Structure 1
Amino acid sequence: MSVDNQEKNIIAAGGLLNATCGNVPELIIALFALHKEKMEILKWSLLGSILSNLLPVLGSSLLFGGFANIGKERSLNRRQADVSICLLLLGILCHISAVASKGTIKNEENINSLGVLKLSRASAVIMLIAYIGGLLFEVKTHRQIFEQDEDSSEISSGDDDDATDAPVIGFTSAVIWLIGMTAVIAMLSNYIVTTIEEASESFGIPLRFISIVILPIVGNAAEHAGAVIFSFKNKIDITLGIALGSASQISMLVVPIVLIVSWANGIPMDLDFNLLETGTLVMTVIATAFALQDDKWHYLKGFNLVLSYVVIAVCFFTMKALPNK
């Protein structure tokens, strides 16, 4: 059974809006870290947010949603996944270029760093343009393609999934809550950035592990819960919009914005996230792309993504941080 165009637009925008609101904490934390010029914490927190959305958020959604639908064949919006994966691949290309440049430019250290800085700033502009292009493609010029996929996924999921949940609060109340929670997050983010290094020393937990693993998991808790709930309700397209949309938004929108803000304030920030971190990002995007290479989903794909995140968490917990030279 097909839904009307208005409901389709709401469904299509739901994942994007959820991802955008969920990324507010990451952006605020990044700006506070930038203001205090704590570049390692800044880069690690942004990297961790991307990893968290692609592996534990998407992985657990596929895992628990698959458990709830064992024995049933479920489809997902392959085109929606392709758009996000393409953006993420472009993003990691920019990061790889920055990392590789430091190893290939045979000049003095300050000249080398200046070259990487210029490359990163140019890449940031390209990343912003790419994100805007992908957004226009998905919500404006080729929206009918995604609506067709929604129709086909509804047919495969059956009539029991046609019920529409009634809104819990109205639009005005939602905006008020969003503004209020953003203000609270801003105050807490300043406290987190100020005390995170002391907490790392006090508890004996590596700063990199806290920044890449713990902070993003806590920050993505609301998105995580929402994605899992939607997967239980067989609304996997919204789950993809939350997880993939959030990851691509951080990679192609938040990171470039922070870099451009640092550029405007004369703070040297580049896209060199160090070799280990960049390699982890590359393998995460590849693993996610392989998990979504067909239009079907089940619990095993989610199980593998979650285990991949466990490996990454153990790696960052046991490895000492390398200086970002």
Structure 2
Amino acid sequence: MQLFRIKSSGESGRGGIHPWHFLRICFRSSCKASAAINVLWPIVPVALAVRYTLPDDHILIFILSYIAMAPCANLIGFAGQEFARKVPHVFGVLIETTIGSIVEIILFMVLLQKDQFLVIKAAILGSILATMLLCLGFCFFVGGIYHEEQTFSDTISEAGSGLLLTAGVALAIPTVFSHGLPDDSTLTAEQIAHKTLSISRIVSILLIIAYCVYVFFQARTHHGIYHAIFEMDEERDRDGHKDAAKDKLTMTECIVALTIAVTLVTLIAITLVLQIEHVIEKSKVSDAFMGLILVPLVEKFAEHITAIDEAWDNQMNFALSHVLGATLQTALFNAPLVVVVAWGQSKLLDLEFGIFDLVMLLLAILTVGRFLQDQKSNYLEGFLLVTLYVAVAVSAFYYPDPPHAQGASAEGGEGNHGGAVPGEGGNEKFRFF
């Protein structure tokens, strides 16, 4: 029953909901960077209003909705942090990571309903790359500015990097199958598409099972090891005494904050997704850049701020757990989940990516694994990871859109699926990066 007992570090000393305290604590947020984001709250009602008052100004609506997503995601992250403080460390990290992925899941589901399959696939890879390269890079860089060298537990780094590589290989299987068939194969384009789709669905189920085992491993069988690691990190927190003295949300206020934030994120996500096709048509933004860079940056915003703040406070095990946890959540759960949901709706979304996409993903996983190998970090390693992410972003910006019908078929069009859209009598495959 220890799980349901509120920890002293998360005790608010109040009960129910107190509007003034609630607003003041939420606006203060968890750190200065997070509090600065709350200045953007006035844009939220403006973004929702502009959708109806200027419905044809798609680029303006997209920009306002994109900016408005930041404070809403920030509130989800803060409420998740406050909730996580009230339970044991390991459960807290798992809960915080799961709550932080709500924005990503909502965006994936809205994109799925609008049949934006290309953007979904790019966003899956983009989310993994943004968290692994950009977020982890900033954690190393920001922490390395204040500390000459930071250390972290091999338990977290080895388990995380191993799972990342496993997830990357699993995600590559449908693409390797589709592109690895010999040119003289007797299978038609439609048969290849169907078999790739079946493999994707089976792999998705296996990945979800793997994620459940990973959570059980952390929360149950090896809970003591992780708990000791996080306890040690709390002792190293240089701002720990300040955080302990801050007012905290009650459990009821955490739930209210999450409800408000999730509702707003859903409304804004719908508005945002409705503009994507128009923005791609009217601007120089490609499908690849939209899905690989723009969408992941806003959906993972809160988790990035949290992890970077922990690295600044010299809590590298917490920071690494958030980075690796968020990456694994996307690869092992969120991505397979959207494929399974699409399956339930008879939408032909699979896990077939472009060869270049997967090469970038696997190389990024190997690079991060190499940097984690010595259980040490510094600002140089952080700078290199961020530089690598910028290079990927530049290539995505210049990558041309394939000649496709956006969001190819949801309702079982002949021969069409989310990963390959056969041409008129050819066996043409498109890449999404």
Q: TM-score, normalised by structure 2?
A: 0.69
CA distance in 2, matches of 1:305, 1:13: 29
Contact 1:120 1:271 (8 Å CA) reproduced: yes
Q: How do 1:214-293 residues align onto structure 2 when only pairs under 5 Å count?
A: 214-293=294-373
Match for 1:290: what amino acid? R
| C-alpha deviation, 1:160, in angstroms | 5.0
The structural deviation recorded for 1:151 is 5.6
Q: Deviations over 1:202-226 (max 9, x none)?
A: 2322121022111211222222211
For residues 242 and 93 of structure 2, what CA distance do their matches in structure 1 show? Answer: 16
Counterpart residue identity of residue 28, structure 1: I
- Give the residue type in structure 2 aligned to 1:238: F
Residues 1:60 and 2:138 are matched in the alignment: yes
The answer to whether the Cα contact below 8 Å between 2:230 and 2:318 also exists between their aligned partners in 1 is no
1:147 Cα deviation from its structure 2 partner:
3.0
Q: Which residue of 1 aligns with 2:165?
A: 89
Does residue 134 (structure 1) correspond to residue 134 (structure 2)? The answer is: no
| DSSP-derived class of the 1:261 partner | helix
Total equivalences in the alignment: 317
CA distance, structure 1, for counterparts of residue 308 and residue 160 of structure 2:
19
CA distance in structure 2 between the aligned counterparts of 1:315 and 1:176, rounded to whole angstroms = 42
Asked if the contact 1:59/1:306 (under 8 Å) is kept, the reply is yes
- What secondary structure is seen at the aligned counterpart in 2 of 1:98? helix
Measure, in 2, the Cα distance between the counterparts of 1:214 and 1:27: 16
Q: Does 1:76 align with 2:156?
A: no
Task: Specify whether residues 162 and 27 from structure 1 end up closer, same or farther in structure 2 by C-alpha distance, changes over 3 A only.
Answer: closer
- C-alpha distance in structure 2 between counterparts of 1:183 and 1:162, whole Å: 32
Partner amino acid, structure 2, of 1:237: N
**Which residue is 2:179 aligned to?**
103
**Structure 1 residue runs without a partner (length 5+):** 1-5
Q: Give the distance between the partners of 2:353 and 2:92, measured in 1 at CA.
A: 31
Task: Tell me what 1:210 maps to.
Answer: 290
Amino acid at match of 1:191: T
Cα deviation for residue 12 of structure 1 reads 2.8
Q: Which amino acid aligns with 1:68?
A: Y
Kept in 2: contact 1:46–1:255 (CA 8 A): yes
Task: Give the stretch that moved more between structures: 305-314 or 104-113.
Answer: 104-113
Cα distance in 2 for partners of 1:68, 1:132 equals 37
Give the one of 281, 299, 310 matched to 2:390.
Answer: 310
Structure with the greater relative contact order (CA < 8 A, sep ≥ 6): 1 or 2?
1
1:252 Cα deviation from its structure 2 partner = 0.3
Paired residue for 1:18, among 86, 96, 105?
96
SS at match of 2:108: helix
- The alignment's TM-score, normalised by the length of structure 1, stands at 0.90
User: Is the Cα contact below 8 Å between 1:15 and 1:240 reproduced in 2?
Assistant: no
Equivalent residue number for residue 115 of structure 1: 195
- Structure with greater helix share of residues: 1
Residues 89, 227 of structure 2: 8 Å contact kept:
no
State the 1:162 CA deviation.
5.7
Distance of aligned partners of 1:82 and 1:39 in 2 relative to their CA distance in 1, 3 Å threshold: same
Unmatched 5+ stretches in structure 2:
1-6, 10-84, 405-418, 421-433
How far, CA to CA, are the matches of 2:306 and 2:230 in structure 1?
19
- 1:87–1:130 Cα contact (<8 Å) kept: no
